[in-house]
Amino acid sequence: MEILIPKKGANKITVHKCRSAADVLAAPEEFLRVPHIAVVGRANVGKSSLINHVLQQKALVKTSSAAGKTNSVDMLLVNDKFVLTDLPGYPNMTSSTGRQVAGDKRWHGEWENMVHSYLELGAQGKIDFRALLLLFNIEKKVSPTDLEFLEDLGYHSFPQLLVMTKDDKMKGHEERNKRAEGLRKRLKWEGPHIHYRTDSENPLSRKSRRHLQRFIRSFVTADDVEGARAAIAAAWQSRVSKSKAESLESPPSSEDSTPHDQDKRNSVSEA
């Protein structure tokens, strides 16, 4: 079976919910012998919508406008080829609503430990962990909590791909590029990013899905975590080289780079 089948509802998905590191290791064997990729980000960043969209499932993961609905480590076995893990979102500490305060308490009392326990299993080699999909809402400003969480993730030293969600809210390329540049600068991000939108009727939505699916395939087919890291580095170098070439002729394009882009350029140069 293919890693990802480009057809609505065609991917075989099996779900295993975990509330501790012990639950992860107690998962069926087929969950533990394949590569893992995790989706992380602030609560209500759009993780559920992205997962449903990229796997082309209507309601595999429940979506909600209220933050903090993911309260377990949800491992999704896709086509028996890899696990896409939906991790609980960290709260925005700048909010003072009753729901958010409750989410803050559960994050520090329960969910934060679940997230880092799962990632630590990858660091210890107990699961074949490949990469993090780090989601940020392109509409929102970066908060101190975002920076703190990003610093914590750095402790695990996993390859990370920045995914800017809610891209459909942007009014045009100028606003899109301005916000992306500001987000990268505030995060001190060095590496590739992609924009993501989940309004499936829009061609740009389907394009963003293909971009992310290409990255996922490159992570899964890599030999190991270092191979996944190399795929991200190659995609970023490809984007930098393309931007430099374009700057000599015209204003930089807003297109994102994926591992597939380098393959296409190589095939052209070899022709």
pLDDT per residue, tens digit, the chain (271 aa), is 689 988 888 899 999 999 888 899 999 999 999 999 999 999 889 999 999 999 998 767 655 444 455 678 999 999 999 999 999 988 876 555 444 444 566 666 677 888 889 999 999 999 999 999 999 999 999 999 899 999 988 878 899 999 999 988 888 889 989 999 999 999 999 888 999 999 877 888 899 999 999 999 999 999 999 999 999 999 888 877 877 776 666 554 444 555 655 554 443 333 3
Q: Is the pTM of this model over 0.75?
A: yes
Backbone φ and ψ of 177, nearest 5°: -70, -35
Q: Are 179 and 168 in contact (CB under 8 A)?
A: no
In CATH terms, the fold of domain 13-270 is: Rossmann fold (3.40.50)
Alpha helices in the chain (DSSP H): 21-25, 29-32, 47-54, 98-106, 112-123, 144-154, 173-187, 203-221, 225-247, 259-270
Nearest to 220 by CA among 99, 133, 119, 123: 133
Per-residue b/e over 189-200, b at no fewer than 16 CB within 10 Å?
A: bebbbbbbbbee
Question: Strand 73-78's sheet: what is its strand order?
Answer: 13-18, 73-78, 82-86, 36-41, 129-137, 160-165, 193-195
| Residues with Cβ within 8 Å of residue 46, at least 6 apart in sequence | 135, 137, 165, 166, 196, 198
